[in-house]
Chains A and B, each alone.
Chain A
Amino acid sequence: MSEQRGIERPRPTIVKAPEGHSGEGFFATRVDQAIGLARANSLWPLPFATSCCGIEFMSTMSSHYDLSRFGMERLSFSPRQSDLLMVMGTIAKKMAPVLRDVYMQMAEPKWVLSMGACACTGGIFDSYSVLQGIDRVIPVDVYIPGCPPRPEQVIDGILRIQELARNESLRRRYSKEYQDLLTKYAID
């Protein structure tokens, strides 16, 4: 019997370890780097999809673009369990208090991704009924422009969120600047 030919498979990528000291049987690094590593690669996004950008996000999530490569297999539909709010689509002024409630129900640390022209600026809907950018009611970490943005752009935006999560100081959420930011939005 001939030996079965091995099929060449790509090796699973493993996240690179942060800077640190390693020796035989141990690895030492800073705790904020270890926590940042864990947070960045296990974000639970809450998709707040109100229109066509949500459709683009669905294709980003599904097998062709496969967002689960970045540790996001698990979408959370409860704000209490998620740490990334993805706002995708036009937010009407009537919806703004709902969005704000959802943001306030999320536990720290939390990030906000604003996807598409409408969520970022109101887009083409310069109208009395449409919120002219979600940053009028909640603070935003990353903006993705486009109408709608391509999945590659969404992935880029998420990588930037990961970058923020990975490098965030553990004390940032207690800092005066952050508290002031929340006070500016009347969020306690």
Chain B
Amino acid sequence: MPGFAVKAERDQQVKDRVSAAFGERISGMEQERDLLCIQVRKEALHDLLRNLRDELGFHFLTTCCGMHFPGEAQEFGLVYHLHNMRAGHRIRVKCRTTANDLEFQTATDLWATANWMEREAWDFFGIKFKGHPNLKRILNMEDFPAFPMRKDYPLEDPTRQDKDDRFFGR
């Protein structure tokens, strides 16, 4: 494992090169502990991912999943975890969007592994992906009527009759 000084140096390199290439299209960068997080505007997301993969060596997509922050203007979002295995370097990319603009560009053309991750984001958050080869539910039943990981979806099974609200402090 590279030490913190080495990591900070690598993070700084990524920061410099990304802000030089994207400038205003990056909406922010934050450093949470030793993990750099790049916040990008939605229209530049795919370009940034391609750039990170091709120019900066982040050739492995660790994970991609949806986010939901009810009550905020940019309610939904995606988070990508990227890994540069050669340098032992990980970063995150976050991209937020509003509830009425839920279609992202797919990343399946960059990483084949994005296929199932994007299906999961569709299944649980209702986020669509333009250009995805097979965008259908992956974990829930095909005829499931909702997007259950949205925070306004009740977690408990709605068909239970035996739960008395008095015993659950409601």
Contact = CB atoms under 8 A, between A and B. Distances in A.
Interface size class of B (residues with CB under 8 A): 10 to 19
A94 B148 CA distance: 14
A126 B156 contact: yes
Interface stretch (A49-57, A128-136, A161-169): A128-136
A127 to B, nearest CB: 6
A127 B154 CA distance: 9
B157 A127 contact: yes
B74 to A, nearest CB: 26
B141 interface: yes
Q: Considering residues A94, A122, A128, A129, which has the most beta carbons from chain B within 10 angstroms of its beta carbon?
A: A128
A94 B143 CA distance: 10
B141 A122 contact: no
Nearest to B141: A94
A39 interface: no
B31 interface: no
Contact of A130 (B139, B154, B157, B158): B157
Contact of A132 (B140, B146, B153, B160): B160
B141 to A, nearest CB: 5
A160 interface: no
Contact of B158 (A94, A128, A129): A128
B141 A126 contact: no
A7 to B, nearest CB: 57
Nearest to A133: B160
B134 interface: no
Contacts of A94: 139-141
6 contacts: A94-B141, A126-B155, A128-B153, A128-B154, A128-B155, A132-B160
B100 interface: no
B152 to A, nearest CB: 13
B157 A126 contact: yes
Contacts of A93: 141
Interface string B128-147: 00000000000111000010
